Amino acid sequence: MGIFDHFMNLRAVYIHLGWFQISITNLIVVLGMLVLFGLALFLPFPGNKKKGQK
Amino acid sequence: MSTSTEKEMWVTKLRKGWQKNLPVEKLLPDTQPAYVASWIYLFGVATLASLGLIIATGLWLSFEGASWYHGSNVGHFVNSLHFWSVQFFFVFMVVHLWGKFWMAAWRGRRMLTWITGALAFVGSIATAFTGYLVQSNFDSQWISYEAKDGFNSVGIGSRFTVTNFGQMLLLHVAFLPVIIGIITLIHVLLVRAKGVVPPIDAFNKELGERK
Ligand code: HEM
């Protein structure tokens, strides 16, 4: 039934680095969360420019 | 007739405690301190919004039944909405947790806020786990057969039988969501009662007292 069924039936691909092992899927999720965390800290929040601020 | 020397009823104590710790001005405030103007403070409410979606789509699935969500297009769609709301719920919750960890948001008598958050995290994992067990596919069969050995090895397999579909379904749709709901409610009420924690280096008057 199309591309998604094909995708769902594939075996997960794992990265092995010695004792460390993680699936590509989980790695993407973890990296995505780290990126989101970084963006949340460093992106300027709209409407927080008050008097006396540049 | 009541006199001031008479012992207070628990209702009276509850009302006085409530009025002292969480007056309606604190429960529904107009403004927040300046330091709250950052994206990182939105992840708690993003987690809350995801939880709302999870509960709404979960109720929808329950009322329609398995033959609908496994056998019709709209059913598949709502099932996917439920699943993806959970994925976002966890992503937002983890970023929320990191944010609160690095700002040490348990400072100033906010320990219970942190603890209820941690309980919500652990409870959500248990709820998601039972969710994976009730997909009624080979995936859930595999997960339950792997997990039963773990549960048996710590001696709780007879109470918490992960291969028992009925038990897992009822835990997933009735017991665990109620627990998560109650913990989340206490968590958010505590945040309101204590106010948002000032940044670690906030000595500035403008930012309020350092607590
Ligand atoms: C069901 C999951 C959760 C929901 C719905 C939730 C919701 C919220 C909301 C709406 C806030 C206020 C807004 C904000 O600062 O983001 C908050 C604050 C807070 N959360 Fe959570 N949270 C959850 C899980 C967690 C977890 C896992 C932790 C850490 C173990 C945590 C720790 C905290 C702390 C310490 C605060 C208070 C910060 C302060 O007083 O300034 N929460 N939470």
Q: Where are the domains of chain A?
A: 5-42
- Nearest Cα residue to B120 out of B108, B132, B128: B128
Judged by a CB distance cut-off of 8 A, whether residue A43 touches chain B is yes
Q: Going by C-beta distance under 8 Å and a sequence separation of 6 or more, which residues neighbour residue B42?
A: A40
Entry pTM: 0.89
3-state secondary structure of A17: strand
- Pairwise CB contact (< 8 Å): A40 & B94: no
Burial call B21-56: b when 16+ CB within 10 Å, e when fewer: eeeeeeeeeeeeeebeebbbbbbbebbbebbebbee
* Pocket probe mutation, ligand 1, options B187, B190, B211, max atoms within 8 Å of Cβ: B187
User: What ipTM was predicted for this assembly?
Assistant: 0.84
Name the residue with higher pLDDT: B64 or A11.
B64
Closest residue by CA, ligand 1 atom 20: B117
Choose the residue to mutate in B28, B85, B92, B96 for probing ligand 1, maximizing ligand atoms within 8 Å of C-beta.
Answer: B96
Chain A residues in contact with B91 by the CB 8 A cut-off are 29, 32-33, 36
**What is the arithmetic mean of pLDDT over B202-210?**
53
Residues 6 or more apart whose CB falls under 8 angstroms from that of B139 comprise B132
Q: Give the model confidence (pLDDT) of B151-200 as tens digits.
A: 999 999 999 999 999 999 999 999 999 999 999 999 999 999 999 999 88
Distance from CA of B51 to the nearest CA of A (A): 18
- Residues B44 and B188: their CA atoms lie apart, in Å, by 9
- Which residue would you say has higher pLDDT here, B207 or B93? B93
The larger pLDDT score, comparing residue A4 to residue B22, is at B22
CB pairs under 8 A between A and B: 32
Which residue in the block uniquely carries the two structure tokens 């017991």?
Answer: B175
Q: What is the pLDDT of residues B119-155, one digit of tens each?
A: 999 999 999 999 999 998 888 999 999 999 999 999 9
